[in-house]
Amino acid sequence: MTALLEAQGLTVGYGAAPVLHDVDLTVAQGSITAVLGANGAGKTTLLRTLSGLLRPAAGRVVLEGQDLRGVRVEQMVRRGVAHVPEGRGVVTELTVDENLRLGGLWRRDRADTKRALDEVYGLFEPLARRRRFPGHQLSGGERQMLALGRALVGRPRLLLLDEPSLGLAPRVTAQIMALLRTLRDGTGLTVLLVEQNVRGALSVADTGVVMSLGRVVANADAAALRDDEDMRHAYLGF
C-alpha cells in the first residue's frame, strides 16, 4: 500500500483550545477512506488542516513524502488535492458554468481543461441542462454535483469531501457514493470522505477512521467496522 497522504501527530486549535489532539492518519493511494464521528469530533477541522486552511500547532501533513508545512492553500490544488468544503462552497452569485470553469483556471493545459469540463457535464446531466443558471437557483443535490464537478475539473489525485450527503435525499446520496466508487475504480482517484451518514460512507469505503472529541479512536478496515458487531456498537453506536 502506497500512502498518498499522511497526518502525523496533528494538534490543531482555533485560538487557545485545541480541537484535534495528536491525530495520526494514513490515506492509501487509490482508496476511499471514511472519517466518521459525531458533531464536534473534529472531522471538519481535520480536513481544513489537510488542505492548508488551518495551520497545526503541532505535527505535520505529508503528501507523497513531501512535508506540506508552509505550502499555501492556493498551491494545494496544483499538487492534486481538491477540497470540497463543508456546505459545498458553491459560489451562488456565479453560474454553473462559471463555477465549473473556476475549478480549472489554475491549469495551464487549456485543451485538457476543456475536455475535463465536457467530461463533468457528461457525468452530471442536470448540470449540463442548467449551465447558465446562477448557483442560488440549484437544489441541494445539484449543488453537490456542482461542487464535486468543480473539483473534478482540476483532475485531482486526492479528493477531500466534507459531508457530501448533508441535506440530500437517500437516493441522491447513494448516487454520489456510487460515483465515488466508480471514480476510484476507473481513474484511481483517492478519496478522504468525512461523513455523519455512517452506512452510506461505509458502503463505499475501504478504510474507516472513527474520531471522537478530537482524537482518533478507531482505524480499521471498513468491512470490519460494518460487520463486526462489537466494533460497531463500541464506536458507531449501532
Partner 1 sequence: MDRFVFLTFDGLSRGAVYAAFALALVLIWRATRIVNFAQGAMAVATAYVGYSVSAATGSYWLGFVVAVLGGLVLGAATERVVMRFVDHSSHLNGVVVALGLVLVIQGVLGMIYGNEFRPAEAPFSREAFTVGGIALLSPFDLFVFGAVFIVVVLLAVLFTRTSVGLRMRASAFAPDVSRLLGVNVGGMLTLGWALAAAVGSLAGMLVLPTELGLHPNAMDIVFVSSFTAAVVGGLDSAVGAVAGGLIVGLLLSYVSGYLGATVAPIAVLLLLVVVLLGRPGGLFSRSAARAV
State the nearest-atom distance from the C-beta of 80 to partner 1, in Å: 11
Which residues are paired to 221 by β-bridges?
207
Choose between 136 and 233: whose C-beta lies nearer to partner 1.
Answer: 136
Q: Which helix (H) or strand (E) holds 199?
A: helix 198-204
112 counts as binding partner 1 under rule CB under 8 A: no
Give the distance, in angstroms, between the CA of residue 50 and the centroid of all CA atoms in the same chain: 10
Name 157's Cβ contacts closer than 8 Å, sequence gap at least 6: 4, 80, 81, 189, 190
Cβ–Cβ contacts within 10 Å for residue 157, how many?
19
Number of chain positions touching partner 1 (CB under 8 A): 24
For partner 1, which residue of 1, 38, 105, 223 counts as binding (CB under 8 A)?
A: 105
Choose between 103 and 164: whose C-beta lies nearer to partner 1.
Answer: 103
Residue type, 24: D
For partner 1, which residue of 51, 165, 173, 207 counts as binding (CB under 8 A)?
A: 51
Letters for 120-159 (x = contact with partner 1 by CB under 8 A, - = none) are: ------------------------------x---x-----
74 counts as binding partner 1 under rule CB under 8 A: yes
Q: What is the CA radius of gyration of the chain?
A: 17
For partner 1, which residue of 89, 134, 141, 167 counts as binding (CB under 8 A)?
A: 89
For partner 1, which residue of 9, 67, 106, 131 counts as binding (CB under 8 A)?
A: 106
CB of 177 closer than 8 Å to CB of 161: no
Give the distance, in angstroms, between the CA of residue 206 and the centroid of all CA atoms in the same chain: 14
CB of 24 closer than 8 Å to CB of 209: no
Name 219's Cβ contacts closer than 8 Å, sequence gap at least 6: 25, 207, 208, 209, 210
73 counts as binding partner 1 under rule CB under 8 A: yes
| Positions 171 through 210 that interact with partner 1 (CB under 8 A) | none
213 counts as binding partner 1 under rule CB under 8 A: no
14 counts as binding partner 1 under rule CB under 8 A: no
98 counts as binding partner 1 under rule CB under 8 A: yes
What separation in angstroms does the CA of 111 have from each of 37, 64, 115, 125?
41, 27, 6, 21
Choose between 82 and 176: whose C-beta lies nearer to partner 1.
Answer: 82
For partner 1, which residue of 2, 40, 69, 75 counts as binding (CB under 8 A)?
A: 75
Chain residues in the site for partner 1 (CB under 8 A): 51, 53, 73-78, 82-83, 85, 89, 91-94, 98, 101-103, 105-106, 150, 154
